[in-house]
Structure 1
Amino acid sequence: MKVPEGFKSGWGLQIHDPSVFSRSQWDGGHQASLTYLVFRLLLAGYFIATEIYFIYYITPSFFFIYLTDLAYTLLVIDACLHAYNAYKMEPKQRAVYQVTWVFMSIAYSVGILVTIFYWIFLFGEESEFPLGFDIQMHVLNSLYIVVSAATMAAPIQLKHMYQPVLFMFLYAVFSIIYWVAGGVDEHGSPYIYPFLYWLHFGTALKYSAIATVGMILAHLIVWGICKLRCRIAHSVIGRIYRVHSVIV
């Protein structure tokens, strides 16, 4: 049975217009505007500063075992990559743009998922962390994602959904290995999250399945924002500037 050509395309990282990873959807031409460059540099600096603060003053020994913290780290890397690309637009550095694309697809979907999970399953429970930490990790993270997705020119492919889903699968595997190896959280409990305590296999598997469905929903949200951005850009400024974007 022959696979349709439309189905085979869109899974990889083929880049037709490298400039979309360096500029805003709302810039005219192929170069990032000074406003967009400053915007990206400020965001990168802010994320680096907050990441350093959280690592050293909030959970220094356990920061990188939690999905929330890993999701934030992905956003830090994403912010830095976008700042670098806006500062140094090089059409030949396709590998950098491909890395940016992968991090973007994973970071934005995981970040939205973290926010959804927090407000559905964890909000209302007593938190040991400062209010600013919770706001940064569960509100401002998604605000950044929405603003970034609405301003950048880079596309989010619907078929790239497998990337954040694979990330979640690898995190689940990591949580199993961490538990088997005798890893504990900052309170000494034998798990990273209570609902990922693999001694209770059924519960852990159930929440892993819920997280997978949530990841698909999160990716659809980010994809929808980018699709809407492209449509608005084409209708509002399409007659003034030639807008290069990909609508999947």
Structure 2
Amino acid sequence: MAAIKKYFKKEFQVPMLTLEHDDLTDFYLSSCQKNRSAVPLLCLRMIVFLGCVGILLSSMILTIPQMNFGHWCIFLTHWGVILITITSGSAALLSLKVCIGDPNRTSTDLQLYVKIYWVLYNITVPLAVLITAFYWTFLTGADVDFAVDPVLDVFIHAVNAVVMIVLVVFSRTPSRLLHFLHPLGFGIIYVIFSVIYYAAGGLSPFGAVYIYPMLDWSSPGIAMITVVGSAIFLILGHVLIVLIALGRDKLSNRFFKDTHSMNIYSDAYN
């Protein structure tokens, strides 16, 4: 009980709102390795990134012929597909930067990459979980069939979340409770977009005045219930990721982490 109290006391301090972290190796070492090489996580991140690129291209190739590109861009699912691709790409780029070992690199350079990746990570993982839960709960039985292709449907509404969870479990990227503001802020941006799109007279590819049936601003009460419920789910999703990360770190520190090894990258950046 004392440990839990200590944890929450630490997490709810103002510095935990920032993007500062003492050990930058946590952003490019895997949770399942004893050595201090950045290569294992780079390999995993490259595989994930290439998979995400494949999902994104498949979504565009199979979907855009049935709707124009502008309509493709209005759906939160496709925002999520773009984000998982950018996030996995930034993760791979971060690992690659470390592996290349540029002798002119500085701690400031790496910290910039870390901060960009960290914000994207904080947004994308709970968002992917929300998209998966939202789709299979509310849209699979909707009057309008949102599924363009059954296989693609699974990849953009299920595999997306699995891919992000893989990045969480096999990395050491830290998760902070107060960083729930990142996915929440992104959610607010999408809500504002949906309001502007409705006010401007935008229609869905199916001719409806809404993007999603439960986000219909001609019925603001229902739309606001959806917004509040989604916000709560995003926060809970972030908390779930924090718990997964805590369990991951506990197991990693017990079975894998070699605190006695030296790392030239860690020395260079600290």
Aligned partner of 1:48 in structure 2 is 53
Whether the 8 Å contact between 2:55 and 2:81 is mirrored in structure 1 is no
The 2-side partners of 1:239 and 1:27 are apart by 8
Please say if 1:228 is aligned against 2:228: no
Aligned partner of 1:92 in structure 2 is 108
Aligned partner of 1:122 in structure 2 is 139
Q: Could you tell me which amino acid in structure 1 is paired with residue 58 of structure 2?
A: Y
Query: Which structure has the highest helix share of the two?
Result: 2
1:24 to 20, 24, 30: 30
Q: CA deviation at 1:242?
A: 6.4
Please say if 1:111 is aligned against 2:128: yes
Q: CA deviation at 1:146?
A: 1.5
- Show structure 1 runs of 5+ residues with no match: none
Q: Could you tell me which amino acid in structure 2 is paired with residue 38 of structure 1?
A: C
Q: CA RMSD in A?
A: 2.2
Percent identity, aligned pairs only, is 23
Q: Could you tell me which amino acid in structure 2 is paired with residue 170 of structure 1?
A: I
Whether the 8 Å contact between 1:11 and 1:159 is mirrored in structure 2 is yes
- Show structure 2 runs of 5+ residues with no match: 1-8, 99-104, 264-270
1:11 to 12, 17, 40: 17
The 2-side partners of 1:31 and 1:135 are apart by 34
Whether the 8 Å contact between 1:234 and 1:243 is mirrored in structure 2 is no
Aligned partner of 2:87 in structure 1 is 78
Q: Could you tell me which amino acid in structure 1 is paired with residue 209 of structure 2?
A: P
Q: Could you tell me which amino acid in structure 2 is paired with residue 120 of structure 1?
A: T
Deviations 1:173-207 (A, max 9, x none): 11000001111111121121111111111111111
Please say if 1:58 is aligned against 2:74: no
Counterparts of 1:203-214 in structure 2 under 5 Å? Answer: 203-214=222-233
Call closer, same or farther: CA 1:22–1:150 in 2, change over 3 Å: same
Whether the 8 Å contact between 1:10 and 1:159 is mirrored in structure 2 is yes
The 1-side partners of 2:242 and 2:126 are apart by 9
Call closer, same or farther: CA 1:32–1:184 in 2, change over 3 Å: same
The 2-side partners of 1:242 and 1:214 are apart by 40
Provide the TM-score with structure 2 as the length reference. Answer: 0.82
Q: CA deviation at 1:114?
A: 0.9
Whether the 8 Å contact between 1:19 and 1:31 is mirrored in structure 2 is no
Whether the 8 Å contact between 1:29 and 1:241 is mirrored in structure 2 is no
Please say if 1:36 is aligned against 2:41: yes
SS of the residue corresponding to residue 108 of structure 2 reads coil
Q: CA deviation at 1:29?
A: 4.8
Provide the TM-score with structure 1 as the length reference. Answer: 0.89
Q: CA deviation at 1:238?
A: 4.1
Q: How many residues align?
A: 240
Deviations 1:85-139 (A, max 9, x none): 1111164321111010000000001001111112222234555411111110121
- Higher RCO (Cα < 8 Å, 6 or more apart): 2
Give the number of the structure whose alpha-carbon radius of gyration is greater: 2
